[in-house]
Structure 1
Amino acid sequence: MPSTQRFSALDSFRGLAALAIVVCHLPLLLADGEPGQFVDSAVYVQFFFVLSGFVLFHANGARLGTPAAFGRFLTARGFRILPVHLCLLGLILLLGDTRPDAESASALLANLLLLQAWLPTADDLSLNPAAWTLSLGFYFSLFFGLALLALPRGRSAAFLLLAALALGGLLSGFDDLHASLLLGAVGFFLGAMLYPLQQSLRLLPLSQRAFTILEVTVLALLGLILDSSYLYRELYATLVFALLLLIFTFEGGLLSRLLRHRLPLTLGRWAFALYLSHLVLFMALAELLPLLPQPDVPWRDPLQATAAVLVAIALSALLHRYIERPGMALGQRLLAPRSGTAQAGNASEASG
């Protein structure tokens, strides 16, 4: 399977996960929103971590064998995520940060270095709250690349060890690190472990009906987990996300065929910008809406919610076209003279 192949069904799931997170955050705009819905968004973020580990191995597993290749990999990752991140940070600063100067400067520096989710004294939700996943994901990518570079024959064992250590820390209540860090590490390195397994099963002789049954079953299982209140709900969801990813990589069932249609694929392309920008938009709207006339009609909140989601999607389309894609293209141009290929940048787009 060539490393340039895209898993279309997974691209669509990435868009659906981003949309689900946007919907979870709508209570920020609604007068009678339930605070618990805000917290529920964390479970969908786990899909991003699992997907990133899988796709990064798919795109780079055969190429990260030298320090120069490792440098190109990190450069491509930087140009993949930083343009939109920095653009939104600039917008937040333009809109105004009302905290004391020292606190504001510290938060800005942590966000610029993507360290806000790692430093014990930093607020991982400072400035753009959604960017905490970038903070984790970028350094997970760093550890991932180092593992591929240092252990060309023991990659799966290294990822298994990293996932097991993170899981052990999470289950033991290790509180020197945020639980989200450990949970994210479990998802990311579990996703990386899945790629060799998927490759060994890629010729699985199952019919379309059998794949459809598997697809429906794993989605039903995911629905049960998401609708539960288990103590380790996010961890169980991470395991089911991994199973979902593995099944849908084969794209052998009817649901996979639906996910390859233009609408979900387009949403998948905008998913990174949608996820990263929607909270900035919602925070701005939360300041603006009280200043506007509020019609006293029963459907006011649903109307505002629908309008907010549509505006968030439109903003993500603009960010993808005018910030995200040009940033990746710049990274490819910088890498091309040294690598002779733009695959690193293209592959990075799929990882999100």
Structure 2
Amino acid sequence: MNRFAVLDGWRGICAILVALFHLSAASHIFYFPPIRNAGAFVDFFFVLSGFVLAHAYNDRVTTPGDAADFLVRRVGRLWPLHIFMLSLFVGLECVKWGTMAFLHVTAGDAPFTGPTEPFAIATNILLVHSLGLHSTYTWNGPSWSISTELWANVVFALTLVAFRRHLLLCSILIIALSIGTLETFNHGSLGATYDYGIFKCLYGFFAGVITYALHEKLHKGDIPLSSLVEIATLIGIGAYVSCLHLMVTDMFTPVVFGFSVFLFARERGSVSRLMKTKPFHYLGQWSFSIYLVHAFVLAIIGGTSRVLQQLLHINLMIPTAYQSHKFEMLTLGNAWMMDLFTIAYLALVVSISALTYRYVEEPGRAYFNGLAKRRVARRQPQTNMR
């Protein structure tokens, strides 16, 4: 089955951009508009997920049993790494408690309170922590999208079983419902996460399903000047993301990313050829780990910096504001020093992600895929023994 290698590469690039978006470090690139608005690339993940899963399962999920097998596989894709990272965050919170108890210094909020309250451990384990049960991000902040992704997969599976012949119509209705909900309860914005994030995810996911339907009908047609079209598309997406904070609405974001997925799924131009090279292949392979690992690395950086501030009586975390958002900016000398720090941060995130992919993602996925295969085998009629 076609892996869409170019789209995998773009998934890796977007994961890196999200990791940079969450790094508050006084480097030269911090205020670069595509970086400051890179949270929008989560919508790319949703669109791409809908596209890829429609490609892989549109013809395979026809019965409730098929739907259950599909969801077992999806749990195997999303849950093991999420639980592994959650356990690391719980361990880090214990370290924070020990630091406050024995060194008498603080490393942020009091341990096991607010975003790290014990109740949130249970909701994270069940992957329901982004269904409006909390008033903030919990534990591994970016995992809110993993929670919504799983439940969007449930809706997708149910739609395939119950309304297969009307999948496109159902996709349009789900998108309309999602947009209506966001318009009504989230001020007409796609900036929903732990509260109305499920509707943001459903919008993007089923936009991806529709994008795949268009791809199926039109993918054999040639694109004149495909390299120029790919380059122009990248420039257009960069401009769009850069100007998101200036726009009246960001509701067109899944449509914009849907077009980019449609274009790069064809793999025709020079940009696509570049994205098929090994570095981008590996980034795509490690993208899920990059997305879930980077917040843990940032938590360690932030906690260590706060402890060092108090022990050494130096200022490492400077209060800063950008576009009405207040946060602490890590500063270690001049901007050139922070550029090196940013490179080291990305290198560390990618290195750890390569390990979690090999030793957490792959074994977890293999285990749950094995469960799904055994389920299929039990449903198949037994042949008579001769």
Tell me if TM exceeds 0.5.
yes
Question: How far off is 1:271 after superposition?
Answer: 0.2
CA drift at 1:318 = 0.5
2:14 corresponds to which residue?
Answer: 17
Asked if 1:116 is matched to 2:136, the reply is no
Residue 106 (structure 1) aligned with residue 123 (structure 2): no
Q: Supply the AA of the counterpart residue of 1:156.
A: L
The aligned counterpart of 1:345 is none
Match of 1:133 in 2: 145
In structure 2, relative to structure 1, the CA distance for the partners of 1:58 and 1:31 (3 Å cut) is: closer
Structure with larger Rg: 2
Residue 349 of structure 1 aligns with which residue?
none
Identity of aligned residues (%): 27
Query: What is residue 229 of structure 2 aligned with on the other side?
Result: 214
In the other structure, the counterpart of 1:168 is 180
| 1:226 partnered with 2:263 | no
Q: Is the 8 A contact 2:20 2:35 kept in 1?
A: no
Structure 1: runs of 5+ lacking an equivalent: 341-352
Q: CA separation of 1:214/1:104 partners in 2, compared to 1, >3 Å: closer, same or farther?
A: same
Q: State the partner residue of 2:375.
A: 338
1:251 maps to what in 2? 267
- With over 3 angstroms needed to count, the CA separation of the structure-2 counterparts of 1:253 and 1:233, relative to structure 1, is farther
The equivalent of 2:39 in structure 1 is 42
The one of 364, 370, 373 equivalent to 1:327 is 364
CA distance 1:37–1:108, change in 2 (3 Å): farther
Partner of 2:319: none
Q: TM-score, with normalisation over the residues of structure 2? A: 0.79
Structure 1 residues 251 and 233: CA distance shift in structure 2, 3 A: farther
Q: Write out aligned runs for 1:1-352 (5 A).
A: 4-27=1-24, 29-30=25-26, 40-96=37-93, 98-100=111-113, 104-119=117-132, 121-173=133-185, 178-207=195-224, 210-228=225-243, 229-232=245-248, 234-289=250-305, 291=308, 296=333, 299-339=336-376
Q: Distance in 2 between matches of 1:332 and 1:151?
A: 26
Closer, same or farther in 2 for the Cα pair 1:335/1:214, shift >3 Å? same
Contact 2:26 2:338 in 1 (8 A): yes
Q: How many residues align?
A: 333
Residue identity matched to 2:256: V
8 Å contact kept, 1:76–1:328: yes
State the Cα deviation string for residues 289-331 of structure 1 (Å, max 9, x = none): 4539887465321121111111001011010000001111112
Name 2:327's counterpart in structure 1. Answer: none
| Per-residue deviation, residues 50-81 of structure 1 (Å, max 9, x unmatched) | 00111111111001101111110010001111
SS of residue matched to 1:284: helix
Give, in whole Å, the separation in 2 of the partners of 1:160 and 1:84.
32
Q: Is the 8 A contact 1:273 1:319 kept in 2?
A: yes
* Equivalent residues of 1:83, 1:323 under 8 A apart: yes
Q: TM-score, normalised by structure 1?
A: 0.87
Compute the displacement of 1:171 (Å).
Answer: 3.0
Whether the 8 Å contact between 2:11 and 2:287 is mirrored in structure 1 is yes
Name structure 2 gaps, 5 residues minimum: 95-110, 317-331, 378-386
Q: Distance in 2 between matches of 1:269 and 1:118?
A: 28
Contact 1:222 1:240 in 2 (8 A): yes
Q: Is contact 1:212–1:252 with CA below 8 Å preserved after alignment?
A: yes
The offset of 1:274, in angstroms, is 0.3
Residues in 2 aligned to 1:298 and 1:220: alpha-carbon distance in whole angstroms: 27
Query: 1:96–1:156: structure 2 CA closer, same or farther, 3 Å change rule?
Result: same
Q: Specify the code of the residue in structure 2 equivalent to 1:139.
A: W
Kept in 2: contact 1:130–1:275 (CA 8 A): yes
CA contact (8 A) 1:183 1:235 kept: no
Supply the RMSD in Å over aligned alpha carbons.
2.7
Cα offsets for 1:137-174 (capped at 9, x unmatched):
10000001100010121111101110111122223445
C-alpha distance in structure 1 between counterparts of 2:52 and 2:291, whole Å: 18
Decide whether aligned partners of structure 1 residues 74 and 302 sit closer, same or farther in structure 2, where only a CA change above 3 A counts: same
1:92-121: per-residue Cα shift (whole Å, max 9, x none)?
1111160349972211111111111112x4
Residues 165-209 of structure 1 show CA distances to partners (whole Å, capped at 9, x for unaligned) of 1122223445798354333221111111111111011211335xx
Q: In the superposition, relative to structure 1, how do residues 232 and 6 fare at CA in structure 2: closer, same or farther (>3 Å)?
A: farther
> Do the aligned partners of residues 38 and 226 (structure 1) sit closer, same or farther apart at CA in structure 2, a change above 3 Å counting?
closer
Contact 1:222 1:237 in 2 (8 A): no
AA aligned to 1:105 is: P
